[in-house]
A and B are shown apart, each in its own frame.
Chain A
Amino acid sequence: MKLVRNTLAAAIAFAAIATTTPASAAELEVTHWWTSGGEAAAVKELADAFNAGGDTWKDGAIAGSAGVARPVIVSRIIGGDPMGATQLNHGRQAEELVEEGLMLDLTELAEKEGWKDIVRPASLLESCTLDGRIYCVPINIHSFQWMWISLNAYKKAGIDAPKDWNEFVASAPKLREAGITPLAVGAQTWQTNGMFGVIRLGLGGMDLFLKTDVERDSEALRSDTMAAIWEAFGEARKLDDDNNSIQNWNDATSQVINASHGAQIMGDWAQGEFQVAGQTAGVEYDCLPGLGIAPALDTGGDAFYFPKQDDPEKTAAQLRMASMMISKSVQVAFNLKKGSLPVRGDVDLSAANDCMKKGLEILKSPENIVPGGTQLFSPDTSGQLEDLLSEFWTNPDMKPEDAHDTWATIIEEAE
Chain B
Amino acid sequence: MKEPVSNSEVAVKSALKGRRRPKLLRNLAAKIAAVPMILVALVGFVGCSVWSIFYSFTSSKSLPKERFVGFAQYERLFDSSRWQTSVENVAIYGVCSLVFSLTIGFLLAVALDQKIRFENTFRTIFLYPFALSFIVTGLVWQWLLNAEFGIAQVIRDIGFSGFEMNILSNREYAIYAIVIAGLWQGTGLVMALMLAGLRGIDQDIWKASRVDGIPAWRTYLFIVIPMMKPVFITTLVIIASGIVKVFDLVVALTAGGPGGSSELPAKYVYDYMFGRANLGQALAASTVMLITVLIILIPWAYLEFSQKRNAKHG
A interface residues (Cβ-Cβ under 8 A, vs B): 67, 70-72, 74-75, 78, 93, 96-97, 100, 187-189, 192, 242-245, 247, 378-380, 382-384, 387, 390-395, 406
Q: Is B274 an interface residue (CB 8 A)?
A: yes
Q: Is B168 an interface residue (CB 8 A)?
A: yes
- Output the least CB separation between B86 and chain A (Å): 11
- Not counting A74-B277, A243-B164, a sample of 17 additional A-B residue pairs whose C-beta atoms are within 8 angstroms of each other reads A70-B274, A70-B275, A93-B277, A96-B277, A187-B255, A187-B258, A189-B257, A243-B147, A380-B277, A380-B278, A383-B271, A387-B260, A390-B259, A391-B259, A391-B260, A394-B257, A395-B171
A63 to B260, CA, bound (A): 21
A242 and B169 contacting across the interface, CB-CB below 8 Å? yes
Query: Given the complex, which residues of B lie within 8 Å of A67, measured CB to CB?
Result: 275
- Output the least CB separation between B88 and chain A (Å): 14
Query: Given the complex, which residues of B lie within 8 Å of A406, measured CB to CB?
Result: 81
Which chain A residue shows the least CB distance to B174?
Answer: A394
Which chain A residue shows the least CB distance to B59?
Answer: A415
A395 and B275 contacting across the interface, CB-CB below 8 Å? no
Interface string of B226-261 (1 = CB under 8 A from A): 000000000000000000000000000001111111
- Output the least CB separation between B214 and chain A (Å): 52
Contacts A78-B62, A78-B63; A71 near B258 (Cβ below 8 A): no
Query: Given the complex, which residues of B lie within 8 Å of A74, measured CB to CB?
Result: 62, 274, 277
Interface string of B70-111 (1 = CB under 8 A from A): 000000000011100000000000000000000000000000
**18 A/B residue pairs, CB under 8 Å, sorted by A:** A67-B275, A71-B270, A78-B62, A93-B277, A100-B63, A187-B258, A189-B259, A192-B259, A242-B169, A379-B277, A380-B61, A383-B275, A384-B80, A391-B261, A393-B259, A394-B171, A394-B258, A394-B259
Q: Is B148 an interface residue (CB 8 A)?
A: yes
B62 and A97 contacting across the interface, CB-CB below 8 Å? yes
Across the A-B interface, give the 10 residue pairs with the lowest CB-CB distance, nearest first: A71-B274, A394-B259, A383-B276, A394-B258, A96-B62, A391-B259, A380-B278, A390-B259, A380-B276, A379-B276
B148 and A380 contacting across the interface, CB-CB below 8 Å? no
- Output the least CB separation between B236 and chain A (Å): 33
Interface string of B159-201 (1 = CB under 8 A from A): 0000010101101000000000000000000000000000000
Contact among A78, A189, A379 with B260 in the assembled complex (CB-CB below 8 Å): A189
Which chain A residue shows the least CB distance to B251?
Answer: A68
- Output the least CB separation between A266 and chain B (Å): 18
A279 to B281, CA, bound (A): 46
Q: Interface of chain A, helix or strand or loop or mixed?
A: helix
- Interface residue ranges of B125-167 to A (CB < 8 Å): 146-148, 164, 166
A74 to B164, CA, bound (A): 42
Q: Is B206 an interface residue (CB 8 A)?
A: no
A382 to B146, CA, bound (A): 30
B275 and A71 contacting across the interface, CB-CB below 8 Å? yes
A378 and B277 contacting across the interface, CB-CB below 8 Å? yes
Query: Given the complex, which residues of B lie within 8 Å of A245, measured CB to CB?
Result: 146-148, 166, 168-169
Query: Given the complex, which residues of A lie within 8 Å of B62, measured CB to CB?
Result: 74, 78, 96-97
Residue among B63, B147, B275, B278 with the highest chain A CB neighbour number at 10 A: B275
Query: Given the complex, which residues of A lie within 8 Å of B256, measured CB to CB?
Result: 189
Which chain A residue shows the least CB distance to B172?
Answer: A395
Query: Given the complex, which residues of B lie within 8 Å of A382, measured CB to CB?
Result: 276
A383 and B272 contacting across the interface, CB-CB below 8 Å? yes
A237 to B277, CA, bound (A): 30
Query: Given the complex, which residues of A lie within 8 Å of B148, measured CB to CB?
Result: 243, 245
- Output the least CB separation between B53 and chain A (Å): 21
A390 and B63 contacting across the interface, CB-CB below 8 Å? no
A379 to B277, CA, bound (A): 7
A391 to B270, CA, bound (A): 19
